[in-house]
Chains A and B, each alone.
Chain A
């Protein structure tokens, strides 16, 4: 059995589900950020697979992946800066205790 588009899509779905579980179920804010990175990587795999198997000569999916990487790098920098600021003020990065803006 040769590897086709579906294999990559299922791999991407599984990786996204793992990242989704981590983002929803974890307390540590850094681990939540890591799970979000996993989800972005899953989307990138799906993009490259579509680009490879549906339009192999256009490469549009790969260009999209480059922009997703740019935005992911920006997101991680700002997210970690916010975590640092919160840690400096409250001495914790437990996401269940950071509830100042809740209700």
Chain B
């Protein structure tokens, strides 16, 4: 239990610090690299929540695919020299984010959550597979997801294609 506590605090600090670095770094490429670090630490957070399958999926999709796409886009747009400056709405945006943090944080802390004492399911992969592919589970969204991905691929190709 103590190890879990230490792991949570270390990972939480890494997540917050890396996310702040994404927003505050002037260099776009460094911001992208710290975003990769943030995603990795979020995968660790999933492990402390005993969601092992999701941790693997997080590493595969976010650290593997999405960050590569974003770094590729940064390299292709040659906007690196200009950095990532803020626009004129910096102060209002900060106030909005702070208000959101205080409001939602207060709501989260003051709600009496009905925490269950049952131990978590481990490993989660067979249970998730049963839930996703069995009848009465989530089979319809699973079948819709490939259609969405196909439409995405076609749309991306059409958008980027040279005329």
Q: Is the interface of B mostly helix, strand, loop or mixed?
A: helix
CB of A100 within 8 Å of the partner chain: no
The residues of B with any CB-CB pair to A shorter than 8 Å are 1, 4-5, 8, 12, 15-16, 19-20, 22-23, 28, 31-32, 35, 38-39, 42, 45-46, 48-51, 53-54, 57-58, 61-62, 65-66, 69-70, 72-74, 76-77, 79, 82-87, 89-90, 92-94, 96-98, 100-101, 104-105, 108-109, 113-116, 118-121, 124, 127-128, 131-132, 138, 141, 145, 148-149, 151-153, 155-156, 159-160
Q: Is the interface of A mostly helix, strand, loop or mixed?
A: helix
Interface contact A3-B42, CB-CB below 8 Å: no
Interface contact A6-B108, CB-CB below 8 Å: yes
Which residue of the partner chain B has the closest CB to A9?
B108
- Other contacts beyond A45-B46, A84-B73, A92-B79: 6, CB < 8 A: A6-B109, A13-B105, A22-B23, A25-B94, A54-B115, A76-B66
Interface contact A77-B138, CB-CB below 8 Å: no
